[in-house]
Structure 1
Amino acid sequence: MFDDIKLEAIPMGRDLLLTITGGEAHIGSASTAYPVSGGFDVQTTAVPGHKEHTLSADFARRAAAALNRTVTVVMGIHYDNLTKEEIMAISQHTSDLLEKYLLSETNTL
């Protein structure tokens, strides 16, 4: 289910852009996590009416901390008439995609 959801990574110098899209792809939110003294801060912009920011901010922070670099996550996932259970499944699936990507990257560092 939701097999068309994908994560794409685009290196930008030292920084990293991650896009996570599925269904009718679009830009629903953009979150950038960057290092500050003692951790990482996140700035997020969300398109009104979209909910991806509830995931993108956490995903950007997780990726920045794991990779020790500035990371922007742009998310846009849309399917019509989702149930709460389907929304939870999408949330879990995208989190799993991110975790798989981070494991592959941290194993090559």
Structure 2
Amino acid sequence: MTFDDLQLQAIPMGRDLLLIITGGEVHIGAASTAYWTDQGTEVQTSAVPGHKEHTLSGDFAQRVAGELNRTVTVVMGIHYDDLSQAEIKSIVAKTDSLLEEFLKQQ
């Protein structure tokens, strides 16, 4: 499986930024917001029970907020049936690549 339908949408919201990362059966699995404080970036994550996108969304939000110096929310919903560990690693690599490509364009 090539996971060619994985995508990242960026929606500016004033000074803030919303990133939506989806693939397969689109849904909301997790949402993470990273924002600046006096101690650096903080992240708050909300995950739908039974979903695993939160394992990526918090890190992604923190990376983008740190690099772009703005508040960032990442909403992720990726679902494919019966994935192997190798396929999960492929999805992680592809979503990371989408995020890196987005950051290069900023």
Partner of 1:28: 29
Range 4-13 or range 31-40, more displaced = 31-40
Tell whether 2:3 aligns with 1:2: yes
**Cα deviations across residues 22-59 of structure 1 (Å, max 9, x unaligned)?**
00000000000000113100000000000000000000
Q: 4+ residue runs of structure 1 moved beyond 3 angstroms?
A: none
Q: d(CA) in 2 for partners of 1:18 and 1:39?
A: 21
SS of 1:88's equivalent?
Answer: helix
Tell whether 2:85 aligns with 1:84: yes
Partner of 1:53: 54
State how many pairs are aligned: 105
**Alignment-mate amino acid for residue 73 of structure 2:** T
Q: d(CA) in 2 for partners of 1:54 and 1:6?
A: 18
**Alignment-mate amino acid for residue 36 of structure 2:** P
**Alignment-mate amino acid for residue 30 of structure 2:** S
**Alignment-mate amino acid for residue 69 of structure 2:** N
Partner of 1:13: 14
**Cα deviations across residues 3-30 of structure 1 (Å, max 9, x unaligned)?**
0000000000000000000000000000
Q: Percent identity?
A: 67
Q: d(CA) in 1 for partners of 2:39 and 2:48?
A: 30
